[in-house]
Structure 1
């Protein structure tokens, strides 16, 4: 294919043509095999009714293009298409047309009354609502606008209007609500019609807070509001709107909560004597009550984030009978969703489904759930085969305990239904190391489970909150794996609304009440918008969030005062440093003041760059000046002239290097000490939430790729791969959420699905595979792979706004091959492992070079070898550990984890406290045998 063929995209939720604004941004990806293809111009055509008009764009712009036509009117439908001309002068064909539907309401159009149950008998009582209406002629179009403080589904004449789940999701209801815009034309018929609503509380009625502080925040009862616009073929129209004329009743869902689970009594199904459901016309609603008009719902906005849907199904992998005789189902993957069952039995039989992420000593491990029961109940109607899935709750689980099943249990009767926000998958990674591949898969599943309307910390316990610190560190990884722009754009709107005098709360929406400054958490306000710009060329979000970014930075600058250091205040710090006690997760090796002041610099610098991007030159200079003052204060206070940090810990060094606080001429000293600390720890991770996303970059930027490799492939606790060896299928909250003996970490805060420590994914993509943006939105790509010793290959692929880019490498027979795919209308800067630097255009490229052999370990190793030499020699290290393990596993563990692997101490000296003379002699003999084997191999070679 030589003619360029574009495919148009619009700024709308994934898999939707419904846009939320009158002037959505548009873009297109071009397919062509013409090498080095660059766009010279593009013609965009819009068809509105019978009229078409065109707009020409000169140059390369093809992503996040400002709407070039007159604004859309509410409910206006149009089609867009585009054709492109390359710099070679060839003009391609028109793209396939893309429908655009204006899903926003007109000014003053929202008139719906919020309604619910008049006399609920319990808090957060699920309710059903209904109304009937007449369609008086042929319908041209029917559009439903609906929202809830709670979660809902609508059916018209017995058919659900869409396949969305838990809509409209969670926003800070007092500030912002979301409406769905649904085309329901096909569901209406001339004559009598009915509309039915199923409604529950979910986020709106949940109790938030920890232990005795938990309380309802938004509402005691759910409420719903909606309006249906019927546009007739003759040009007339009418609204069907929620009001006091609607009817309400309780139904088969007798209780529902995010944390508790859902109870469903099928005997209470709302079906009348003639078999009609409550969402069908003619249903006998004589036992129903008038709906109550409730507190008004804030005028909702059209959705900008993707829908939540059922996106996968998993079958039972194993049926386990626990030591106590319980039946537990293992689905083989920690997931977020619920169970769908098919069952037959006597009326009144109650089936109980309890969910948990792990087993502990063979039983369902529910302690980490804290106050979340995570339990569903289904009571059979006794009407033959019944199929059921909870509707208004979700659980984080791999295992489910089943109780009360009638008759013989058939595992094929239970399916795990996976739900999350329906984002487009855009990134993939693979390496020759199977444990690293599983680590990456765990990162992907962690994102899926915690990207459900908003980015949460965990999906299973009595929390599930939008913790700002977690997404701040994970946003780069997330933006590679999925198209998260609309998802995070929506969340950032809520962040700005929840700021109090510039202070960003710990969680958004702010379910915990008070807001106080915390470094790395509140900095989501400045960093996440910048990530969206870096990865999507998203200037619009930066511009909208600029006052939020500036407000946060101003808070920090004021707190720092003339010293330009943020000191002595509450901080989370390097949260969950592996050396912190289980019940004191903020007790990190890196001083919290160092973390705070580093983030003060980072946020001031981010605001300066944002101001420059937006043309606010004076503010850019002001914030850049403050950032320089913070830099100088930080270096004077926390970095010695010899290149030592006052907190001599990995996170401190990594921040100074990666945040570019320390000058380039000092990076070598800082990197050398960081590498030394990493080796001294036995190549075990020593960082928490702040240091973990950046330590590998700090090591590789300062020339310590082998140290970074050893840190990556470490399998002993704590490490990225330790959970993988323990069977993890998602990222854990703690490095040791499960201890080596199979017991759950004693800390009260323990999750097995918590993506923050999976932020290493970004390093795997950018550095190991070598694929990164070199200009906003991948308009220019950077191909710079850094092949790891003992790996045979690695590659990454990413669907950029311009098309698919790929980078990777393979080695074999002494040759290293690097490959790259550069999408049309982009260029790439290439830095090869042999030092060559190239500029290439669109197309497929490959380079070969000699593969340098890795340095061989010393041929002789013994008790007089240094500890550094032993830890750098895996065969020797395993030989020593193997002898100690056979004699005394506890002492072997202590030796591995507590030894400082120094170049100034000998192995024999270190063994003095861990091994008696006989054991030391056995180790000496084992090492002598290893040395002899190596010397023979060398002689034979």
Structure 2
């Protein structure tokens, strides 16, 4: 039996208020009926003005247009959906409510309020703003709230909602998120009190390495809110509110939080009225940050120097919560770190980030936790505790953007499963409002190159369309406002002055995020409107941001970062890899040009499509003339060079592609199957090998255990993805370089190979309306399974080997089709559960053999 599982509007969480007057609707199915397809649907929309019914003949069920007149600010409506199948039968009706928030800044009559700042050059202590008010009757109550900084709001002593670190981080000059809460249950007839604790957060706190800078967007944090009861404002922020100090002495993103449990909320004064925010106010489609898990301690260690260290067994992002009341006096210091070195907490990779929380005892500690900071850690060093630390004194709270988990992977290979788990944990730890590069040191910034590399994997693992889509909106806003066509390398940009200069840095990959990542999202979620929204940014990058030579390729005088973090690059110069940086840049330029030609057709710009298609053909020829010899050898002659050429289709014909595939095969074998690529090549190398018919070689590379390899960190006990292949050296020492993070998602892009080649799930049409199921077993694996909650419903591919027989179970969601490709099977199948049993012969015996070279006289090792 097929049913509608849920209905959503745009990319908002179910039940969220929207800030779109005509929100598109999507509905997801559940059920395994064979060949089930939708033929149409009926929407009954009930509004204050009456009910209207809309009958539509269409098989579309994702992001379908709102059929009624636009909704107004604060308006509520009830929507009932009845779906009709091809056989004429209807599914049970499903109803959902939608409410619209403020659609423009003019809807806000509240004022932005704050506390006096005595010295803006230093950290600004959090403050509390408060106001009492009366309510005579309560049917429905809604709170609208935001801050320049971070806030936590309470009504009658109860925290509103389950969000943390609200309103998140965005490019404050262009976009300011606000939250909408139903607070009916928190109010009472008579006198009520609303309070909000406000911290400096990203808005006015210190950001950047080597000491960074403060007040990047403003010097004075502020809070703004309006509380409506039965559609009438009963209280809003204005000059009648009071502000006071709080028990939080200080709270900084990098350095941690200091709480004095003996202090109260004193020194009350009137608030200051601050200028109204210039940015567009909106309800974000990105889910909020929440506490998503609690992790118990697994051990208590005593370091050689006598320090007490708690081990939580998992590198994670969040903070510690005091689980019990602890009496005593003095100050407890909690330092956070990802790894141990020689038995001590290793904090050197944090650079000048203190990552330290302090609690002054004497008051209540049970349930105590930070409000306005976060840490990346597995270990916590406790100093000043009034007694011996016990295993259950603290629990680790996991915090991240709370997007829906959609993608899964499992196999017969334990270490491979741990690798996939590490990718998932790194994504969770690095998506706090914006996609960041690391969560632990004095950085934690939205590097565009990292996201470009990881976006396909991210889009499979979680429903990240709202989060990444809005961040790409910030990329475009800053890029276009700065006026040179160059997307900042970091978004939100903390170095605006750099991009206002004529010699602003312009780097391939980091800049190509403007084209590649929107297309990756479109491929995964099918949102054509996203491409339309980002289209101007794409054109600006290729037409203005790329500095070209006469051939149309990159100007050789423009600095490039190349295959960043190539494992053979010097530790102090991660951009100095073996592959020509210019070759890498030009390959990505050709690729982005091909994509924008395709995108131009999609968004209804055929003349631009013709122009970019011609430009792409010219650039391909220029690339071959510049980098490819008559015998098809590519300049640089590295893994990365051949990977990019194969992945981006730069070959002249099938014969040349075969030569490149063979050359890549040989380079991988002479490299003893170790990874020889960085940011540019790593996301694509295993897929390029598989595309060239070298599937077993790809498996052998994947299962290599010596550094550099994906499983080397796993063999060293990693629970997240590392920034460097050798963040921890084989002897257990920590890499001495300054860039040594143990939680970086970029190299976790290998998950795409796990999902698509091993797991066999690959989108063909945008949004998974039609997809391919083609598992390619290999290595020592005997079974594997990949699953994905697509916009239409659950898809899956599970296989196992039994001798020379391959058994495959395919799950195709309702209203979709799949192209199943197996030995002797090549056909399109509809929805339902399908089983196949075919003969399987591997392309090559396992394991493939390495090739000896002058630098490698004894090459063969056993795969893990």
Q: Could you say which TM-score interval applies, normalised by the shorter chain? A: over 0.9
Distance 1:177 1:4, change over 3 A: closer
RCO higher in structure (CA 8 A, sep ≥6): 2
- Say whether residues 1:507 and 2:519 are aligned partners: no
The answer for the alignment partner of 2:18 in structure 1 is: 19
Give the C-alpha shift of residue 382 in structure 1: 4.1
**Counterpart-to-counterpart distance in 1, 2:214 and 2:292:** 32
Q: 2:239 aligns with which of 241, 244, 254?
A: 244
The answer for the alignment partner of 1:62 in structure 2 is: 61
For the 8 Å contact 1:134–1:190, the answer to whether it is kept is no
| Unmatched segments (≥5 aa) in structure 1 | 271-284, 859-867, 873-895, 902-909, 915-922, 931-941
Choose between structure 1 and 2: higher helix proportion. 1
Q: Deviations over 1:701-729 (max 9, x none)?
A: 11111110110000000000000000000
**Counterpart-to-counterpart distance in 2, 1:386 and 1:409:** 14
The answer for the alignment partner of 1:445 in structure 2 is: 425
Q: Deviations over 1:804-863 (max 9, x none)?
A: 01113100133111221111111111111x2531111111111112232675589xxxxx
Distance 1:561 1:508, change over 3 A: farther
Distance 1:779 1:664, change over 3 A: farther
Q: 2:336 aligns with which of 334, 345, 355?
A: 355
Give the C-alpha shift of residue 334 in structure 1: 0.3
Distance 1:195 1:704, change over 3 A: same
For the 8 Å contact 1:566–1:596, the answer to whether it is kept is no
The answer for the alignment partner of 1:765 in structure 2 is: 755
For the 8 Å contact 2:328–2:386, the answer to whether it is kept is no
Distance 1:709 1:6, change over 3 A: closer
**Counterpart-to-counterpart distance in 2, 1:342 and 1:81:** 45
Q: Deviations over 1:658-705 (max 9, x none)?
A: 111223422101111001000010000000011000011111111111
Q: 2:411 aligns with which of 431, 435, 443?
A: 431
The answer for the alignment partner of 1:82 in structure 2 is: 81
For the 8 Å contact 1:655–1:694, the answer to whether it is kept is yes
Give the C-alpha shift of residue 584 in structure 1: 0.5
The answer for the alignment partner of 1:129 in structure 2 is: 128
The answer for the alignment partner of 1:199 in structure 2 is: 198
For the 8 Å contact 1:454–1:487, the answer to whether it is kept is yes
Aligned residue for 1:19, secondary structure, equals: coil
The answer for the alignment partner of 2:36 in structure 1 is: 37
Give the C-alpha shift of residue 557 in structure 1: 5.1
**Counterpart-to-counterpart distance in 1, 2:513 and 2:550:** 22
The answer for the alignment partner of 2:248 in structure 1 is: 253
For the 8 Å contact 1:699–1:708, the answer to whether it is kept is yes
The answer for the alignment partner of 2:605 in structure 1 is: 616
Give the C-alpha shift of residue 743 in structure 1: 0.7
**Counterpart-to-counterpart distance in 1, 2:234 and 2:173:** 26
For the 8 Å contact 1:8–1:28, the answer to whether it is kept is yes
Q: Deviations over 1:311-358 (max 9, x none)?
A: 000001010001111000110000000000135455542111100000
Written as runs of structure 1 = structure 2, the 5 A alignment for 1:270-289 is 270=265, 287-289=267-269
The 10-residue stretch of structure 1 (170-179 or 23-32) with the greater mean CA deviation from structure 2: 23-32
**Counterpart-to-counterpart distance in 1, 2:348 and 2:5:** 53
Q: Deviations over 1:70-99 (max 9, x none)?
A: 21111222222212111122222212x112
- Say whether residues 1:648 and 2:637 are aligned partners: yes
The answer for the alignment partner of 2:152 in structure 1 is: 153
Distance 1:857 1:368, change over 3 A: closer
When the two chains are superposed, the root-mean-square deviation of aligned CA atoms in Å is 2.2
**Counterpart-to-counterpart distance in 2, 1:64 and 1:455:** 24
**Counterpart-to-counterpart distance in 1, 2:775 and 2:632:** 29
For the 8 Å contact 1:789–1:854, the answer to whether it is kept is no
The 10-residue stretch of structure 1 (592-601 or 24-33) with the greater mean CA deviation from structure 2: 24-33
The answer for the alignment partner of 1:375 in structure 2 is: 356
Distance 1:503 1:557, change over 3 A: closer
The answer for the alignment partner of 1:407 in structure 2 is: 387
**Counterpart-to-counterpart distance in 1, 2:540 and 2:433:** 25
- Say whether residues 1:100 and 2:98 are aligned partners: yes
The answer for the alignment partner of 2:502 in structure 1 is: none
Distance 1:73 1:682, change over 3 A: same
Give the C-alpha shift of residue 136 in structure 1: 4.6
Written as runs of structure 1 = structure 2, the 5 A alignment for 1:207-356 is 207-211=206-210, 214-231=213-230, 237-270=232-265, 287-299=267-279, 300-346=281-327, 348-356=329-337
In the comparison of the two structures, how many residue pairs are matched? 850
For the 8 Å contact 1:18–1:181, the answer to whether it is kept is yes
The 10-residue stretch of structure 1 (505-514 or 847-856) with the greater mean CA deviation from structure 2: 847-856
Aligned residue for 1:56, secondary structure, equals: strand
For the 8 Å contact 1:153–1:199, the answer to whether it is kept is yes
Distance 1:4 1:401, change over 3 A: closer
For the 8 Å contact 1:556–1:566, the answer to whether it is kept is no
Q: Deviations over 1:461-505 (max 9, x none)?
A: 000000000011101001101000111111011111110221101
TM-score normalised by length of structure 2: 0.95
Q: Deviations over 1:501-530 (max 9, x none)?
A: 211011100113323211101111111111
Give the C-alpha shift of residue 168 in structure 1: 0.5
Q: 1:386 aligns with which of 357, 360, 366?
A: 366
- Say whether residues 1:481 and 2:471 are aligned partners: no
Distance 1:600 1:522, change over 3 A: same
Written as runs of structure 1 = structure 2, the 5 A alignment for 1:491-570 is 491-499=471-479, 500-501=482-483, 502-513=485-496, 514-515=498-499, 516-556=505-545, 558-570=547-559
For the 8 Å contact 1:520–1:596, the answer to whether it is kept is yes
**Counterpart-to-counterpart distance in 1, 2:192 and 2:110:** 19
Distance 1:213 1:197, change over 3 A: closer
The answer for the alignment partner of 2:722 in structure 1 is: 732
**Counterpart-to-counterpart distance in 2, 1:857 and 1:851:** 14
**Counterpart-to-counterpart distance in 2, 1:543 and 1:88:** 36
Written as runs of structure 1 = structure 2, the 5 A alignment for 1:566-605 is 566-605=555-594
Distance 1:856 1:149, change over 3 A: closer
Aligned residue for 1:208, secondary structure, equals: coil
Q: Deviations over 1:429-466 (max 9, x none)?
A: 01111111100000000000001100000000000000
TM-score normalised by length of structure 1: 0.87
- Say whether residues 1:114 and 2:118 are aligned partners: no
Q: Deviations over 1:122-174 (max 9, x none)?
A: 73323333343433521333222221111001111111111100000111112
**Counterpart-to-counterpart distance in 2, 1:731 and 1:319:** 24
**Counterpart-to-counterpart distance in 2, 1:309 and 1:366:** 27
For the 8 Å contact 2:8–2:14, the answer to whether it is kept is no
The answer for the alignment partner of 2:678 in structure 1 is: 688
Distance 1:786 1:856, change over 3 A: closer
The 10-residue stretch of structure 1 (47-56 or 775-784) with the greater mean CA deviation from structure 2: 47-56
**Counterpart-to-counterpart distance in 1, 2:776 and 2:630:** 31
**Counterpart-to-counterpart distance in 2, 1:15 and 1:349:** 46
For the 8 Å contact 2:31–2:832, the answer to whether it is kept is no
Distance 1:293 1:744, change over 3 A: same
Distance 1:154 1:506, change over 3 A: same
Aligned residue for 1:641, secondary structure, equals: coil
Aligned residue for 1:626, secondary structure, equals: helix
Give the C-alpha shift of residue 243 in structure 1: 2.1
- Say whether residues 1:672 and 2:662 are aligned partners: yes
Aligned residue for 2:524, secondary structure, equals: helix
Give the C-alpha shift of residue 389 in structure 1: 0.5
Distance 1:852 1:604, change over 3 A: closer
The 10-residue stretch of structure 1 (139-148 or 686-695) with the greater mean CA deviation from structure 2: 139-148
The answer for the alignment partner of 1:469 in structure 2 is: 449
For the 8 Å contact 2:437–2:450, the answer to whether it is kept is yes
The answer for the alignment partner of 1:751 in structure 2 is: 741
